[in-house]
Amino acid sequence: MSARALVIGLGNPDRGDDAVGLHVARRVATLGLPDVVVEDARGDTLALLDRWAGVGRVVLVDAAAPIALPGRIHRLDPLAGPLPRDLALGSTHAFGLAEAVELARTLGLLPQWMTIYAIEAACFDPGAALSPAVAAAVVPAAGRIAAELAEGQGNA
Amino acid sequence: MATKTIRVDTLTRVEGEGALELDIADGAVAGVRLSIFEPPRFFEALLRGRAGAEAPDITARICGICPVAYQMSAVHAIEDAWGITVDGPLRALRRLLYCGEWIESHALHIVLLHAPDFLGFPDAITMAAAHGEAVQRGLALKKAGNEVLRLLGGREIHPVNVRVGGFYRVPTRAELAPLAATLESAHAQAIALARWVAGFPFPEFARDYEFVALRHPDEYPLNAGRIVSNRGLDIAVAEYEAAFAERHVAHSTALQSGLRARGSYLVGPLARFNLNHDRLGPSVQALAAELGVAPGCANPFRSIVVRAIEVVYACEEALRLIAAYEPPPAPAVPVAPRAGVGTACTEAPRGILFHRYRLDAEGSILEARIVPPTSQNQSTIEDDLRIIATRDLELPEDELRDHCEQGIRNYDPCISCSTHFLRLEVRRR
């Protein structure tokens, strides 16, 4: 991939707030950032290792399990150390995002620069729309990602 | 009476949520209960009133790991009810799609879920530090399988391209060419994987299982065949419900399946291999011999080797199907809904998957019955665990627990299908 940066939104569009990563990625795509590719990931998290291979800068956006404050945006730096387990970037199947990132770390397959935005969810009901507090986080999260990518432009 | 409880709140590295409870009284195993507590999904009920043509797409949603198995059993059952025969290149493409699912599902289970048990690692991430090459091999194989699903199924998870009568769209020969290159590489990776797992230490364990699998006149079974066993069972798929019964057990939200005549039985790679070794072809048979696995193998811990052998077979078979492929004149044969009952059984990665549908004259589903492989293996898993726990009763509790979990993973249980984690609880009194 020749893009400078890759933004991947993760989630299931049919499970309420689980779709927030997809919404944020879509919002980032509308900002027309130069040399930034925006993608969705709705399925196999292990396939992410291939998708970010060769890309210098990667931003992942996903929903996090509810903790205390729906819509709260957590910025995680996986290069600094293991992801916090209590944020539960989990999956009903064997490998969630946190496991995929840790596997990539062990195999030396993490990109040089990676940020994860995890947005606290409230509701994962089938067919539900984003809950109001989570929906309100979409624009600010996209803005923070855009700012971060603009800031890092000189380092690419 | 001495009482003791060991509890594992989350059994990881299985697909789904469940629990295992071991009751130990006076130094002996008094009870084993594999509890599946994921809320039952009621797929059989929600299919009622839907069009028969929708069954392949609705049932594919039961599982993200083996959606093709659900699509295949559903589509064949509806076609059975409507008197539709799908053969030639369309049949070959369905077999190719199924090979893709076997490759991705088996590779995931072998390398990322089960191998750590044999090598003494808590998980694949920790194992990757010492066995990075093997883990990367597993990831490459999974990717190759997913590419088959993407090309033939439209996408990797819950593919959408299968329809009653055939497919919505069929690939060109040119589209299959890059897939052949991927599968050539995957084939070499699969052989290396099989040699790697064959070198694992295997616990001594054997039982007199009744193995149940499909058997086809000339193919290693995927989409079709009679249901046979090593104890003389040999029935048409339509006779499934006469030979097998499901029962509700209080500790599980999944039904348990048994042979009406003889009770528990084993489905999956070990059963397929033991009953269809002669259908594997000379090169795969030679590999099995090299790896020391022969038909009649009754050690479920060696199922990981058989699973790897099946990955090799699936790569070979996929390559053969691609080489022989000539695009059909149409992506599907004509379909005319009618009233009737249709059944089908196909070989999901974990074992036989039975579907039956009763449809009205407009083709709407009046009744649906789905029996997934993990429900069929449930009581066999409990029987294995009774032996493992009895043998290892004196071991420290964490070792006992590890051995039990490894024994469960022999079956690659997809608890999501059978009704997600497993909790292991040991009560000693």
> B80-114 burial by CB neighbour count: b if 16+ within 10 A, else e?
bbbebebeebbbbbbbbbbbbbbbbbbbbbbbbbb
Q: What is the ipTM of this complex?
A: 0.82
Q: Taking residues B359-382, what's their average pLDDT?
A: 93
Question: Three-state SS for B247?
Answer: strand
Same domain, B257 and B191: yes
Strand locations in B148-243 (E): 162-163, 166-167, 212-215, 226-229, 234-235
Inter-chain contact B128–A106, Cβ cutoff 8 Å?
yes
Inter-chain contact A50–B143, Cβ cutoff 8 Å?
yes
Which of B295, B186, B283, B279 is closest to B224 using CA atoms? B279
Q: Taking residues A24-44, what's their average pLDDT?
A: 91
Same domain, B398 and B383: no
Instruction: Establish if B386 touches chain A: CB-CB under 8 angstroms.
Output: no
Name the one residue in this structure whose structure tokens are 């594992």. B8
Interaxial angle between packed helices B132-153 and B67-81, expressed in degrees from 0 to 180 and rounded to the nearest 10 = 30
Same domain, B77 and B107: yes
Same domain, B127 and B33: no
The CA distance from B332 to B264, in Å, is 39
Of A42, A47, A94, the CB nearest to B112: A94
Same domain, B92 and B222: yes
Residue among A12, A45, A46, A50 with most chain B CBs within 10 A, to mutate: A46
Same domain, B31 and B150: no
Nearest chain B Cα to A102, which residue? B125
> Does the pLDDT at position B81 exceed 60?
yes
Name the DSSP letter for residue B109: I
Tell me whether residue B232 is exposed, middle or buried, using C-beta atoms within 10 angstroms of its C-beta: 0 to 12, 13 to 18, 19 or more.
exposed
Query: Could you tell me the residue range of the domain that residue B208 belongs to?
Result: 43-388
Residue B38 or residue A127, greater confidence = A127
Residue among B10, B58, B125, B414 with most chain A CBs within 10 A, to mutate: B125
Chain B (16-35) residues lying within 8 Å, Cβ to Cβ, of chain A = 16
- H or E element, residue B134: helix B132-153
Same domain, B34 and B52: no
Q: What is the pLDDT of residue A96?
A: 78
Nearest chain A Cα to B12, which residue? A94
Q: What is the pLDDT of residue A92?
A: 47
Tell me whether residue B299 is exposed, middle or buried, using C-beta atoms within 10 angstroms of its C-beta: 0 to 12, 13 to 18, 19 or more.
middle
Of A44, A49, A103, the CB nearest to B146: A44
Name the one residue in this structure whose structure tokens are 């196999």. A44
Contacts of residue A103 in chain B, CB cutoff 8 Å?
A: 124-125, 128, 135
Instruction: Establish if B154 touches chain A: CB-CB under 8 angstroms.
Output: no
Instruction: Establish if A44 touches chain B: CB-CB under 8 angstroms.
Output: yes
Same domain, B351 and B240: yes
Instruction: Establish if A99 touches chain B: CB-CB under 8 angstroms.
Output: yes
Name the one residue in this structure whose structure tokens are 């699998």. B213
How much is the pTM? 0.90
The CA distance from B274 to B296, in Å, is 5
Q: Taking residues B179-187, what's their average pLDDT?
A: 98
Inter-chain contact B156–A102, Cβ cutoff 8 Å?
no
Residue among A107, A109, A110 with most chain B CBs within 10 A, to mutate: A107
Q: How confident is the model at residue B42 (pLDDT cuts 50, 70, 90)?
A: confident
Q: What is the pLDDT of residue B29?
A: 84
Residue among A103, A109, A110, A124 with most chain B CBs within 10 A, to mutate: A103
Of A93, A103, A108, the CB nearest to B64: A93
Residue A118 belongs to domain with CATH number: 3.40.50.1450
Encode pLDDT of B320-330 as tens digits: 999 999 999 99
Residue among B13, B37, B139, B405 with most chain A CBs within 10 A, to mutate: B139
Contacts of residue B65 in chain A, CB cutoff 8 Å?
A: 93
Phi-psi region of A59 (alpha: psi -120 to 50; beta: other; left: phi over 0): beta
| Strand B18-25, strand B28-36: pairing | antiparallel
Chain A (60-79) residues lying within 8 Å, Cβ to Cβ, of chain B = none
The CA distance from A77 to B206, in Å, is 49
Phi, psi of B244, deg, nearest 5: -120, 145
> B149-158 burial by CB neighbour count: b if 16+ within 10 A, else e?
bbbbbeebbb
Give bridge partners of residue B428 from the DSSP assignment: B4, B24
> Does the pLDDT at position B424 exceed 70?
no
Chain A (14-33) residues lying within 8 Å, Cβ to Cβ, of chain B = none
Instruction: Establish if B42 touches chain A: CB-CB under 8 angstroms.
Output: no
Question: Three-state SS for B126?
Answer: helix
Inter-chain contact A46–B139, Cβ cutoff 8 Å?
yes
The CA distance from A147 to A143, in Å, is 6
Q: What is the pLDDT of residue B339?
A: 98
Same domain, B350 and B371: yes
Same domain, B29 and B132: no
Q: How confident is the model at residue A155 (pLDDT cuts 50, 70, 90)?
A: very low
The CA distance from B242 to B248, in Å, is 17
The CA distance from A136 to A66, in Å, is 16
Contacts of A48 (CB under 8 A, 6+ apart): A8, A41, A60, A97, A100, A104
Query: Could you tell me the residue range of the domain that residue A98 belongs to?
Result: 5-155
Nearest chain B Cα to A101, which residue? B125
Same domain, B25 and B50: no
* Tally of domains within chain B: 2
Instruction: Establish if B405 touches chain A: CB-CB under 8 angstroms.
Output: no
Q: What is the pLDDT of residue B421?
A: 38
* Tally of domains within chain A: 1
Nearest chain A Cα to B145, which residue? A47
Same domain, B95 and B169: yes
The CA distance from B88 to B276, in Å, is 23
Encode pLDDT of B230-279 as tens digits: 999 999 999 999 999 988 877 776 778 899 999 999 999 999 999 999 99
Q: What is the pLDDT of residue A89?
A: 58
Distance of CA A82 to CAs A19, A79, B371, Å?
24, 8, 41
> Does the pLDDT at position B10 exceed 70?
no
Q: Taking residues B133-157, what's their average pLDDT?
A: 94
